[in-house]
């Protein structure tokens, strides 16, 4: 059961994930979380570096869909100026939003990767629904109430993985 919380990969930032590396793995689409994955949870819009990352993915034919548990106003105001498709109130780790994202992108499950900063929503949700997953370090050190609770559980799970030699990166 705990292996469902183990990401396929780990990256310090989404900005370190390249379209070339994804294409080598047969990836055609990214399902990404928004808050603390792409930008801080309280930042309203994309940074110049993130806009460049989205453009690079687009230029290489990698599709991107934002799948967030946040409300429509938050996700729409971030994604719409970038012309990035999105799904709000996704209810991750449930699988419906992940499957909706790949259907919208017109790709197969094995051609998609789920990227996020949380084990309990992004990684667990992606893994239990058959997706490749990449865990990124949260871009902010602060979180909302529910996420703070989740982080305590995540630290225990990551500690267990480290003790078992299943991961070798630092937080």
In a domain, residue 154? The reply is yes
In a domain, residue 168? The reply is no
> For 98-145, how does the pLDDT look when each residue is reduced to its tens digit (9 = 90+)?
999 999 999 999 999 999 999 999 999 999 999 999 999 999 876 666
Output the pLDDT for position 155.
87
> For 26-60, how does the pLDDT look when each residue is reduced to its tens digit (9 = 90+)?
999 999 999 999 999 889 999 999 999 999 999 99
Residue whose tokens read 């034919």: 61
Nearest to 22 by CA among 37, 47, 14, 68: 14
In a domain, residue 137? The reply is yes
Output the pLDDT for position 171.
53
Averaged pLDDT of the chain = 93
Rounded to two decimals, the pTM is 0.91
In a domain, residue 52? The reply is yes
In a domain, residue 70? The reply is yes
Give the CATH number for residue 42: 3.40.50.1000
Provide the domain limits for residue 7. 2-163
Q: What's the number of domains the chain is made of?
A: 1
Output the pLDDT for position 33.
98
Nearest to 116 by CA among 108, 107, 126: 126
In a domain, residue 115? The reply is yes
Output the pLDDT for position 143.
62
In a domain, residue 60? The reply is yes
Sheet holding 63-67, edge to edge: 9-11, 132-136, 112-116, 29-32, 63-67, 86-87
**Phi and psi dihedrals of 134, rounded to 5?**
-125, 120
In a domain, residue 170? The reply is no
């Amino acid at each position: 059961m705990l292996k469902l919380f183990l990401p396929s990969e780990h990256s310090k930032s989404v900005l370190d994930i390249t379209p070339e590396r994804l294409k080598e793995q047969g990836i055609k689409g990214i399902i990404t979380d928004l808050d603390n994955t792409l930008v801080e949870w309280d930042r309203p819009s994309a940074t110049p570096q993130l806009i460049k990352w989205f453009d690079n993915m687009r230029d290489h034919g990698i599709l991107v869909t934002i799948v967030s548990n946040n409300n429509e106003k938050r996700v729409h105001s971030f994604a719409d100026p970038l012309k990035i498709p999105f799904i709000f109130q996704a209810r991750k780790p449930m699988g419906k939003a992940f499957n909706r994202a790949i259907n919208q992108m017109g790709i197969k499950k094995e051609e998609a990767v789920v990227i996020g900063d949380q084990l309990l929503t992004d990684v667990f949700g992606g893994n239990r629904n058959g997706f490749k997953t990449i865990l990124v370090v949260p871009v902010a050190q602060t979180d909302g109430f529910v996420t703070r609770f989740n982080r305590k559980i995540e630290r225990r799970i990551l500690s267990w993985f480290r003790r078992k030699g299943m991961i070798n990166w630092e937080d």
